[in-house]
Amino acid sequence: MRRPLLVANWKMNKNRAEARAWAEALVNDLGPDPAAELVVAPPFTALETLSTALSGSAVQVAAQNVASAAAGAYTGEISVPMLAEIGCRYCIVGHSERRALFSESDQVVSAKAAALLEAGLRPIVCVGESEAERKGGQTAEIVGRQLETSLPAMETPAAGDLVVAYEPIWAIGTGVTATPGQAQEVHEFLREGLRKIMGAGAEQVRVLYGGSVNPENIESLMAQPDIDGALIGGASLEPESFRQIVANCHLENSSS
Ligand code: 13P
């Protein structure tokens, strides 16, 4: 059974004081035993603040990016050991904003995911097609290639540590969510792709949906058999809205 995973991706939002306030408000209102595993990915500058503020709570911290090298002459980069030291358990890699705005290739994403897995951290590898690609009937081709080439080339991938996120670019920050049916169709395709890549381990990989997830649509998305959680941008910035998403994410819907 795959435990549902909800990840708040703050992108480039919130300073440390705001991060602390979010953590306090969320932890106060969160029930004792949420059905889903909960993770928040703040900017690097708030990671340690959140790691401290959330210690002992059900919420773990993640980074939004990482370097593939462990140390050295890489000005402006942050390495996997640095994230581990701060208490990061997860890290998003290959978000469409990084692919589009910072020219990250599938190969770069794959190297980052490999570095994370080797150190025992859990990569959240993002894939997703643009609106033009969907309209051109290329969704399967695009996400299939991204999956195949963005996953780390490892002999035995630690499948339970690997997370894939399907984030259709046309649904990110637009308020237009993929319908549960549209999302399930791609998630099923990704699961099949994972089976070809890693065999039985594919059943352990959590595949998250991202793109305008909110408290109203989370339940119908989670009811799909191959949707194991969500990567949430805008609706995760307010603690109450994230808490409602957590409350509306029911464990029995996403088990397999
Ligand atoms: P929104 O939830 O704001 O659409 O963002 C999705 C996303 O990019 C999460 O990584």
CATH number of the structural domain spanning residue 107? 3.20.20.70
Mutate to test the pocket of ligand 1, among 6, 7, 11, 12 (most ligand atoms within 8 A of CB): 11
Active site residue 192: no
Number of structural domains (the chain) is 1
Reduced to 3 states (helix: H, G, I; strand: E, B; else coil), residue 206 is strand
pLDDT score recorded for residue 251 = 57
DSSP state of 32: S
pLDDT score recorded for residue 155 = 59
pLDDT score recorded for residue 32 = 73
Cα–Cα dist 21/25, whole Å? 6
pTM of this structure: 0.96
Q: Which residues of the chain have pLDDT under 70?
A: 154-157, 251-256
Active site residue 167: yes
The long-range contacts involving 143-148, CB below 8 angstroms and separated by at least 24 positions, are 143/186, 143/189, 143/190, 144/189, 144/193, 145/106, 146/94, 146/106, 147/190, 147/193, 147/194, 147/197, 148/193, 148/197
CA of 163 from ligand 1 middle (Å) equals 16
Of 97, 104, 167, 187, the active-site residue reads 167
Expressed as residue numbers, the domain containing 116 is 5-253
pLDDT in tens, 111-156: 999 999 999 999 999 999 999 999 999 999 999 999 999 998 765 6
Of 95, 104, 129, 187, the active-site residue reads 95
Ranges of H-type helices in 31-155: 47-53, 80-86, 96-101, 106-118, 131-135, 139-150
pLDDT score recorded for residue 255 = 42
Helix 180-198 with 139-150: angle, nearest 10 deg: 40
Cα–Cα dist 83/149, whole Å? 24
pLDDT in tens, 104-115: 999 999 999 999
